[in-house]
Amino acid sequence: METSDTTHLLLIRHAESLSNIYGADFSPDSGLTSRGWQQARRLAEWLAENEPIDVIISSPLLRARQTADILAMHLGRPVHIQYGLEETSHPYWEEFPSFAESRGLPDEPWIPTLETAPTYVAFRDRVVRALRAVLDRFWGQRIAIVTHGGTMATLLRSLIGGHHVRVYQENTAIHKLVWAEKQWMLVYVNKTEHLLLPLRPLAQPPSQEEIADQELTPAATETEPQSLTPTLRLHDFTQAQIEHVVRAAQPQPHEKVLDMATGDGTLAVALAPHVERIIAVDTSPDSLEQAERARLEAGVENLHIRWAHPEQLPFPDNAFDLVTCAYGLHHFEDAAAAIREMMRVCRPGGRILIYEPVGDVDPVKRATQDVIELRRDSSHVTLLTADQIRDLVAEAGLVIEQDETDEIERHLDEWLDTEHTDEETVEAVTAMLDAAIEGDAAGLQVRRERDGRLAFRQRVLTLLAFKPMEEPAQTGETSS
């Protein structure tokens, strides 16, 4: 490791995770909470304006990787996974010996440390080796390491020699050190001013060439030492609908799948047992937390939950065999751009499955449907007709293989319950549907049943398309 160049080192604690709230017994490797996703975005925005970053390093644990993913999208840097930066909490104690040599810290070996527990000595050695591997590779650069509280405190004590100091750090807190004049200088500790900032819309994303995705290309990004809407979006699927979508998608055991607008993760969890790997994305922090809960409750290990904008996916071209989007298009500001992104990340010969409620062909009735949907769910943008969706799919360059529209019977109370609507919203939507009975003003065939419940019919499009295979380049032979 060189010692002459100036090196900036930021130690960053991951954003709030489910294990922070419910303990490691809930799941020792759980993802972020709704608040955690928002913390990560605030952190990324603050870093983009205040701390130039050359390299992003992450612990392999999920809560750190999800935090680092958000930094990567904002800063336009790949994420490098560094083994050895993991936390010490249960069940990771099992990796440490019951008895180990008690000795001083590496920087001052002649001063015995009070931290003499054998397990801590082994942990300290592990995280210091991991840091040394990072510094050997990226010395002279501005390095951000996303890791855990115990790891951060131990590294900080090792670097400054303050082995009697107890260090506190909140979620997404930053410790900054700079190597200058042949020694480490502590600049600040536990900086969290970014948590007070309001969230802004996602800026223009960095180019796909600048971002490496560790879930899809682990060999390219791992560094193992010698070895935006807060609204919760639930899928109001019946079991029959879930089974229908899974059958229509035709998942295969070897396939990598992207589930867009995953909501509470219902479809992603159902698809996971049938494929090699699935990444589920959404922009709602609440939905991402619900999807992570669903993943943990189902015990699904090949499902990865990520924040990603449907019109700016942080994945390379041709990355997935199958892309699914169920009940998502009507939430997108630019459905055409989202479908083009599905096309881009799908491999040639791969499939795209869209399962989407569609609006009435009568523009007046469709506008009424939009008003009702928006009153029920504030994240709703607009319903498209089946023909409009078909046109967008064709314009993106996809070839439609399967195309059918079904009518789904809905009961108003159950439909409203999927969004956890308040009493005022229930009353307003009920009044709207009641008024739409006469003359079928909303095109939903609304009626009152004998028990007094309001029922209606929702038209849903199932569309399966494939991305054409790329034609080989023509050599253009000439004869003499």
Neighbours of 252 (CB within 10 A): 13
Which pLDDT does position 236 carry in this prediction? 59
Which pLDDT does position 11 carry in this prediction? 98
* Local structure of 8: helix, strand or coil: strand
pLDDT at 233 over 50: no
* Residue among 383, 394, 386 at smallest CA distance from 331: 383
Look at 198 and 154; give whichever has higher pLDDT.
154
Q: Alpha-carbon distance 72 to 66, whole Å?
A: 10
Mean pLDDT of the chain: 84
Mean pLDDT score, 91-96: 50
Mean pLDDT score, 198-214: 48
Least confident among 13-27, 252-266, 454-468 = 13-27
Look at 189 and 215; give whichever has higher pLDDT.
189
Least confident among 47-51, 140-144, 230-234 = 230-234
Mean pLDDT score, 318-340: 96
Local confidence band at 107 (pLDDT 50, 70, 90 cut-offs)? low
Mean pLDDT score, 79-100: 69
Which pLDDT does position 205 carry in this prediction? 45
Q: What residues form DSSP beta bridges with 472? A: none
pLDDT at 427 over 80: yes
Dump pLDDT digits (tens) for 157-181. 889 877 667 888 899 999 999 998 8
Mean pLDDT score, 320-325: 98
Which pLDDT does position 320 carry in this prediction? 98
Look at 107 and 403; give whichever has higher pLDDT.
403
pLDDT at 451 over 90: no
pLDDT at 209 over 50: no
Residue type, 200: R
What lies within 8 Å, CB to CB, of 338 at 6+ separation is 260, 310, 311, 325, 328, 329, 332
Look at 79 and 117; give whichever has higher pLDDT.
79
Mean pLDDT score, 86-107: 55
Which pLDDT does position 114 carry in this prediction? 44
Least confident among 55-69, 233-247, 399-413 = 233-247
Residue by residue, DSSP assigns 363-376 as: HHHHHHHHHHHHHH
pLDDT at 57 over 50: yes
Domains of the chain, each with CATH number or no CATH: 7-223 (3.40.50.1240), 239-466 (3.40.50.150)
* Local structure of 415: helix, strand or coil: helix
**81, 223 Cβ separation under 8 angstroms:** yes
CA dihedral angle for residue 318, residue 320, residue 325, residue 330, rounded to 10 degrees = -30
Share of the chain above pLDDT 70, in %: 81
Local confidence band at 88 (pLDDT 50, 70, 90 cut-offs)? confident
Dump pLDDT digits (tens) for 341-393. 999 999 999 999 999 999 999 999 899 888 888 888 888 999 999 999 999 99
Least confident among 2-11, 52-61, 346-355, 458-467 = 2-11
Which pLDDT does position 231 carry in this prediction? 41
Dump pLDDT digits (tens) for 266-304. 999 999 999 999 999 999 999 999 999 999 999 999 999
* Residue among 260, 215, 197 at smallest CA distance from 68: 215
What pTM, to 2 d.p., does this model score? Answer: 0.80
Which pLDDT does position 56 carry in this prediction? 98
pLDDT at 243 over 80: yes
Share of the chain above pLDDT 90, in %: 58
Which pLDDT does position 210 carry in this prediction? 40
CA atoms within 13 A on the CB side of 341: 22
Which pLDDT does position 342 carry in this prediction? 97
**338, 332 Cβ separation under 8 angstroms:** yes
Pairing mode, strands 447-448 and 79-82: unpaired
Mean pLDDT score, 249-276: 96
